[in-house]
Structure 1
Amino acid sequence: MSAIEIRDLSKSFGPVRAVDGVSFTVESGTITGYLGPNGAGKTTTLRSLLGLVTADSGSALVNGRRYVELDRPLSEVGAVLEATNFHPGRTAYNHLRVLCTAAKLPRARVGEALEQVGLADVAGKRVLGFSMGMRQRLALATALIGDPKVYILDEPANGLDPAGIQWLRGFMRHLAHERGAAVLVSSHVLAEVEQIVDNVVIIAKGRLVRQGTLAELVSNGGAPVIRVRTPKPEALRPALERHGAQVEAVGDVLRVTGLDVEGIGGIALDERILLTEMTQERGDLQQVFLELTGEQTGEGRA
């Protein structure tokens, strides 16, 4: 059973189809990036997972159940949807204390959560005076309060300075890769997402357009391209093609698919052909994202 399961999820707001038959899963011990243009349907999906939106069809499950069916939701799911839902007159400590009381969690969790997000020194300060970055950390502390194993984070880097973003990176890796949690993170900062996620789900206009591991998405659809430079490209090319490779000549460079670095090197050695360069090309997530979504901005969608 997957920690998070989205199956054929659809939701409309009047004439607008916000989410249209989306399906994907998030496994324990992994970080999945949920990406799409503004208004593509990301937040509607996350709100459906948390029972804040009722889907028209399909299902959004956490540990095999709907959020409203969870016996102790804060101990199973930690969520950050926005960093503004705080009483301005309460201190950071009291905000979390109220949650602990309502969820029947030990009071000790307040201090532990504040320590984890770096707010222990301002526990007694009122939220009214918090910066956006501090509010974002408090929202993350709220998600941590029940020590869950599933996290749903919508734009968690909003308001964080560079040091805070670096901290967030380590924080999410710790949750997933050391504590075995399932982390679903929605973000528009693709360069940041690329540094932390294991898997990627991309939607546009409410529909799923691609999913897979990060490595698969940025390696030309799973077919690595090896750049090979040699003084004798006219001799190397037919030798590689005899071994089943597809070879494209670009100037004095051969772009090779169908063989790995070791295979190409072995063939060149057998043919006594000198190689002066051999590197694997790698795309980037932003390039893949733009190619898949094009000019689809999804205006009017949530």
Structure 2
Amino acid sequence: MISVEGLTKHFGPVRAVDGLSFTARPGMVTGFLGPNGAGKTTTLRMLLGLVTPTSGRALVNGRPYAELDRPVTEVGAALEATGFHPGRSARDHLRIACTAAGLPERRVDTVLERTGLTTAADRRVIGYSLGMRQRLALATAILGEPRVLILDEPANGLDPAGVHWLRSLLRHLAEEGCTVLVSSHVLPEVEQTADHVVIVAHGRLVRDAPLAELVGAGGELRVRTEQAGELAVALENAGGRVRREDDRLWVTGLEPEDVGRAALDTRAVLTELGRERSALEKIFLELTMAEPDGPPAPPGTGPGPEETGPEKVGAPGKGGQS
């Protein structure tokens, strides 16, 4: 499990993360969403011990990353797909990672197969596409069979088949009981993959909710009947707001059972009744476009939108992956 409790990080006058709290639970894919500069990468780096919080705590399985006995077997992370020696093959990279972490070398073939890299395993990484490097980063992250997985933009560079593969893998890992935290800008893919979403803006939490609850919020009911006029009057009398298009009604303020009762009372035959879900992208924009409280930081101060200052350099110790 991942627990973020009152997490704050200042870089000089810039508040990169501001009192952030959320939980990512086992058996679920949690989407970690926000615009550029929202503090997502800084938060992930604090979870992995790469950046020291100004205040608050970032915990993996109830402990700070630095206090984990064998972090490579508890948490796997892929924050970028560039940390590979270009002259090494994927197989050699994974062998070295196994040796450094004290893992059996048989894990190399297992993760190569699971990430679809077996046929390219002996090619030098310099010849890999971005999508293949993303697969290698993920292979490195799952080398120690961790129960917590932290990923930053894992779909970047993947083709449609690769995105489908990634979705299936993350869903499978969650079904096996893993805690999966995924930061991504690919909102349609998050909508197909995540169970829960955490949305941040200006370093602060703006929404923490199950995906089904979030995308259902504010959705219209779609009703179709040849008795649209009579039913529209009944639905408005029941407290609903109705917009009519020929034999279709778009209803807000009521639940499907309310429509059913009104249809029964008016003897209207329903040929369609469903809910139009609000798209995640629309909700995301509504939640994150608001201006932050207080004046913005002066130009030229602090790090760039997703930078984390000097502490960015380095990787988790004790055999963990960055």
Q: Supply the distance in 2 between the matched residues of 1:187 and 1:256 (Cα, whole angstroms).
A: 31
Q: Which deviates the most, 266-275 or 99-108?
A: 266-275
Q: Which letter maps to 1:31?
A: V
Q: Is the 8 A contact 2:31 2:197 kept in 1?
A: yes
> How far is 1:270 from its partner?
3.5
Paired residue for 2:18? 20
2:317 counterpart residue number = none
Q: Which amino acid aligns with 1:148?
A: P
Decide which of 114, 117, 135 is 2:115's aligned counterpart. 117
Identify the match of residue 283 of structure 1 among 278, 282, 292: 278
CA distance in 1, matches of 2:209, 2:220: 18
Cα separation, 2, equivalents of 1:148 and 1:38 = 28
Q: CA deviation at 1:139?
A: 0.3
Q: Give 1:296 deviation, angstroms.
A: 5.8
Return 164-173 or 246-255, whichever deviates more: 246-255
1:83 and 1:136 in contact (8 A); partners too: yes
1:86-112: per-residue Cα shift (whole Å, max 9, x none)? 111222111111111111111101111
Superposed displacement of residue 276, structure 1: 4.7
Query: Which amino acid counterpart does residue 286 of structure 1 have in structure 2?
Result: E
Q: Match for residue 248 of structure 1? A: 241
The equivalent residue for 1:196 is 193
Task: Say which SS state the counterpart of residue 128 (structure 1) adopts.
Answer: helix
Structure 1 position 259 matched with structure 2 position 235: no
**Which whole-Å CA distance do the structure 1 matches of 2:133 and 2:232 have between them?**
58
Measure, in 2, the Cα distance between the counterparts of 1:296 and 1:38: 14
Q: CA RMSD of the aligned region, Å?
A: 2.1
CA distance 1:296–1:100, change in 2 (3 Å): farther
Q: Quickly say closer, same or farther: Cα 1:171–1:296, change in 2 above 3 A.
A: farther
- Matches of residues 107-186 of structure 1 in structure 2 within 5 Å? 107-177=105-175, 179-186=176-183
Write the letter of the residue equivalent to 2:27. Answer: G
Q: Report 1:233-244 matches (<5 A).
A: 235-237=230-232, 239-240=234-235
1:123–1:296 distance in 2 versus 1, CA, 3 Å: farther
TM (normalized to structure 2)? 0.85
Where does the alignment leave 5 or more consecutive residues of structure 2 unmatched? 297-302, 307-322
Instruction: Tell me which residue corresponds to 1:225.
Output: 220
Asked whether the equivalents of residues 191 and 280 of structure 2 are also in contact (C-alpha less than 8 Å), the reply is yes
Measured in 2, the distance between the counterparts of 1:274 and 1:113 equals 55
Deviation, structure 1 residue 123: 1.8
Deviations 1:240-295 (A, max 9, x none): 467xx5311223525143322x4422431233234354221211100101111126
Letter in 2 for 1:96: L
| Runs of at least 5 residues in structure 1 that lack an aligned partner in the other structure | none
User: Which residue is 1:301 aligned to?
Assistant: 305
- 2-side partners of 1:142 and 1:198: how far apart? 24
Tell me by how many angstroms 1:235 deviates.
Answer: 4.2
2:17–2:204 Cα contact (<8 Å) kept: yes
Aligned pairs, number: 294
**Partner of 1:218: helix, strand, or coil?**
helix
Q: Give the whole-Å Cα distance in 2 for the aligned partners of 1:125 and 1:274.
A: 64
Q: Which residue of 1 aligns with 2:267?
A: 272
Using the alignment, how far apart are the partners of 2:94 and 2:132 within structure 1?
14
Partner of 1:207: 204
What's the CA shift for 1:161? 1.2
Q: Residues 62 and 278 of structure 1: is their aligned pair in 2 closer, same or farther, counting only changes over 3 Å?
A: same
Aligned-partner SS, 2:86: coil
1:52 to partner: Cα distance: 0.3
**Aligned equivalents of 2:118 and 2:106: distance in 1?**
13
CA contact (8 A) 1:113 1:145 kept: yes
Residues in 2 aligned to 1:123 and 1:233: alpha-carbon distance in whole angstroms:
62
Query: Deviating runs (4+, > 3 A) in structure 1?
Result: 229-242, 274-277, 295-301
Structure 2: distance between partners of 1:91 and 1:98 = 11
C-alpha distance in structure 2 between counterparts of 1:39 and 1:91, whole Å: 34
Change (3 A) 1:124 1:300: closer
Asked if the contact 1:233/1:254 (under 8 Å) is kept, the reply is no
**1:126 Cα deviation after fit:** 1.6
